[in-house]
Structure 1
Amino acid sequence: MRITTQAMTSRILADLQASQTRLATLQSQVSTGRRISQASDDPLGTADALRQRADMAGIARDQQSVSDAGNWVSATDSALSQVTDVMHRVKELTVQGANGATTTAGRAAIAAEIGQLIESVKSSANAKVGDSYIFGGTATTAPPYTAGASDAYAGDNGTIARSIGPGVSVPVNTTGAQVFGSGGGDGKLLDTLRNIQAHLSANNVNALGTTDLQALDANLDAVTSVQAGVGATQNRLDAAASRLTDAATTVAKANDSTESADLAASLMHLSAQSTAYQAALKSASSIMQPSLLDFLH
């Protein structure tokens, strides 16, 4: 079968074009450090890379959620610690007021200090994370308590949860009604503090030394119990953060293995392909050079 010069030329040009394509691919791998630049480079690898990127994005969202939850829980713990300190001070003052040696004027002064401590408790109850009030339930845009004589709770009993993994969420909030109450004889902290203040003003030594101290101790136990639950939530968040960090590292390594080029191997292949391309050019030039005049000679 006769092979024409045109057929030979077309074949040589096609081979050179293919060699140039391989050379360009290797040059891209070396310069970018990536094995896959487009889906056609490795369809299966591209599918794996897309799945891994989706996994990394999901892990990043969960990490941000855990971080936000940690801020919320940390602020709650800090506020409850402040309240606990106030309660210990109130207990000291209540014991002092229940002492028969304390004068009426002395109890009045203690009642005034209790009033200031009540406002301090309300200030802690209005703690915020960013623009959100942490003790208001899902009503996070307005303070759950107002300064002054009213101890009404303006929040709700809704639960705020944060995702810590696929299909897993953790409640992070504590409602003010649960800890501080709404006043009005509910026996919670604010109601107890108001009773102590009233009994100091009325010189009711018997109530101060019995029911008031008992109610204060009960509320102190309740706050301590809530704070223990907050600590348990923090431990769970810490464990989730550690797990997500490990998962992110694992997926990132897998993605790097899928998408990144082996630089040493790419350099070796690039050198070999470059040599092959130069040889092909020389070969093509010698084959395509003869013309009719060369044959006539």
Structure 2
Amino acid sequence: MSVRITGQSMSARVLGDLQAAQARIARTQQQVSTERRINQASDDALGTTRALAARTTLATVAKHQDSIADATSRVSATGSALSQITEVMHRVRELTVQAANGATTDTGRAAINKEIGELVNTVKDAANLKVGDAYIFGGTATTTKPYASGPVDTYAGDAGTIARTIGPGVSLQVNVTGADVLGSGGGDGQLLDTLRTIQAHLTANDTTALSADLKRLDTNLDTIGAVQATIGATQNRLDAAMSRLDDTAATTNKVLSDVEGIDLTEALLNLNSQSSAYQAALKTAANVLQPSLLDFLR
């Protein structure tokens, strides 16, 4: 049984083929302009799923990188403040050794006492350091100045812990409190208490007591040295975590590029080939769709 092909059906077939060719060219043009193989889910359902998973990973990595950057800023500032405090303590030790020497006059000790008083303020200023709008030595009381200027040495912050997420399920403490470093005065044996005690002994010209104060100062130095070591270890962990996240980001971006990306040279060749085929199809369609004698007789 023969199948009769009408002019109308042939025209519809030719037009449909032309539209399909146009769609292929449009898709290839979009791939070339975006340099991406997948521009909508219908382009590749499985590839789209893999790309979405990669983008989710990259978003998580970026969030952790921001957290580490914030933590690094805080830890770096803490380390700098501790270094400044340590320098002050070494100067105080030099002055105390000088004051404990019997050859130093009462006037000399008064001058030393005055300088140490200034150094106490320097230590407090270091502990009142802010990163952004937050006091970094105040615990979770980040809006409260840890130490007041003047003779009162009471710590005004709290003992709260500040932590940052540095990876999936990994949290790291990134703060040190003023109480850990300087104490709160009032006979607690920590740095501020030691400095005030040295001042009192200077006022009394008690050289024997000043010699004993050196041991307390050395103990305070050891305490701050231990805190500095902790801060250094924290910085190392932050650096290592950032390095791992950078590696993860690089690997994930490679996966994303492999899934979504195109070979631009190949895509341009395809576009040229499709355009040539389309032009040839147009010429063929022009011949096929020419009006017949019967069309004129209708």
TM-score range, shorter chain: over 0.9
Q: Cα deviation per residue 1:39-76 (whole Å; 9 max; x = unaligned)?
A: 11112111211221111111111111111111111100
Structure-1 residue corresponding to 2:186: 184
Do structure 1's residue 278 and structure 2's residue 262 form an aligned pair? Answer: no
Q: Deviation of residue 292 (structure 1)? A: 2.6
| Equivalent position amino acid for 2:69 in 1 | S
Work out the CA distance in 2 between the residues paired with 1:175 and 1:295. 97
- Aligned with 1:110 (options 112, 128, 133): 112
1:49-128 to structure 2, matched below 5 A, reads 49-128=51-130
TM-score (ref. length: structure 1):
0.96
What SS does the corresponding residue of 1:46 show, helix, strand or coil?
A: helix
| Equivalent position amino acid for 2:61 in 1 | I
Work out the CA distance in 1 between the residues paired with 2:269 and 2:138. 65
- Aligned with 2:28 (options 18, 22, 26): 26
| Equivalent position amino acid for 1:83 in 2 | I
| Equivalent position amino acid for 2:206 in 1 | N
1:234-245 to structure 2, matched below 5 A, reads 234-245=235-246
Q: Cα deviation per residue 1:243-285 (whole Å; 9 max; x = unaligned)?
A: 1111111111111122222112211211221122122212211
Structure-2 residue corresponding to 1:172: 174
Report which stretch shifted further, 163-172 or 78-87.
Answer: 163-172
Q: Deviation of residue 290 (structure 1)? A: 3.9
Work out the CA distance in 2 between the residues paired with 1:30 and 1:96. 78
Work out the CA distance in 1 between the residues paired with 2:74 and 2:241. 15
Structure-1 residue corresponding to 2:151: 149
Report which stretch shifted further, 147-156 or 157-166.
Answer: 157-166
Structure-2 residue corresponding to 1:209: 211
Report which stretch shifted further, 2-11 or 221-230.
Answer: 2-11
Structure-2 residue corresponding to 1:262: 263
Structure-1 residue corresponding to 2:46: 44
What SS does the corresponding residue of 1:155 show, helix, strand or coil?
A: coil
| Equivalent position amino acid for 1:285 in 2 | A
Report which stretch shifted further, 171-180 or 253-262.
Answer: 253-262
Structure-2 residue corresponding to 1:247: 248
Structure-1 residue corresponding to 2:12: 10
- Aligned with 1:130 (options 111, 129, 132): 132
* Pairwise CA RMSD: 1.4
Q: Deviation of residue 294 (structure 1)? A: 8.0
Work out the CA distance in 2 between the residues paired with 1:137 and 1:86. 23
Q: Deviation of residue 23 (structure 1)? A: 0.9
Q: Deviation of residue 14 (structure 1)? A: 1.0
Q: After the TM superposition, which parts of structure 1 deviate over 4 Å for at least 4 consecutive aligned residues?
A: 293-296
Q: Cα deviation per residue 1:95-130 (whole Å; 9 max; x = unaligned)?
A: 111111112222121111111111110000101111
Report which stretch shifted further, 158-167 or 148-157.
Answer: 158-167
Q: Cα deviation per residue 1:212-266 (whole Å; 9 max; x = unaligned)?
A: 1111000000001100111111111111111111111111111112222211221
Q: Deviation of residue 293 (structure 1)? A: 4.7
What SS does the corresponding residue of 2:247 show, helix, strand or coil?
A: helix
Work out the CA distance in 1 between the residues paired with 2:295 and 2:84. 101
Report which stretch shifted further, 38-47 or 84-93.
Answer: 38-47
Give the percent of matched residue pairs that are identical in Structure 1 and Structure 2: 64
